[in-house]
Structure 1
Amino acid sequence: MVEGRLGVGRGDIKQVAPEWLDRIFEQVNARNERGRSHPRWLREHRGSVCEVFVTFLSEEFEDRLRGSVTVILSNGEGRHFSLYMTSAEFDELPDLDEKAVVLLAHRFLRKFKHIPLDGEPEPWSE
């Protein structure tokens, strides 16, 4: 991991409660910054949100970070969007522990379809 000027490394992952989204949007709106609005998709699916992850992407300007917010719904679908926040806002979020990072990576990798060997039957059905 490469640590940046603000002490945050690219790829740091945090997990937050769905209610955090409401609070962070209020704070960002109050500062009148980029990334202020709720994505329409999030408003439409708010009742189905079960997991939220925030990943550090880059340092933008004067103590501001750009993060990727990944929202996972109860049916396993999800989306992500960019959000600007202060380094303090990011730092206060709980880190994802190593086991949870591995589980998240496996969930991601399972999304890819199996490619059978030429001439071989599929070992399992989807």
Structure 2
Amino acid sequence: MALGVKIKNIKTNNSYTIESLYEAIKDVEFTAGKPSLTKHGAATIITFPALDSQNQVWIMKSGFSKESQKFSIQKSEEAGLGNTAKNMALDSLTNGIFGFGSMLGGNAKKCEQLVDATAKEISKLNL
């Protein structure tokens, strides 16, 4: 993990769009919680319930093609443009101290563990 971001790359047996991957996993019980589709800027990603505004598990499609067999599972800030703007404002007001919450503390460590668990759980699904 570097600078508060942890990434695990996985490869599925079949090609998926982010939406079709979501359909394949939406009813699975994950350690990280129930997945949902989230609009984040121009991208759509799969997210799990945020631990706090700086620690959330995301699944993103790798590459630029519509479908892919490669996905990244990562620890990041809470997705959504409103959340990003709020976090940027808090980071600016605290001269960057707010951003350290994504690297330090119990939720940061727990979110790293959830990234690992989610990667293992998806791999076991043999998608």
TM-score (norm 2): 0.26
Indicate the structure with greater helix content. 2
Structure number, greater radius of gyration? 1
| Larger RCO, structure (CA 8 Å, separation 6 or more) | 2
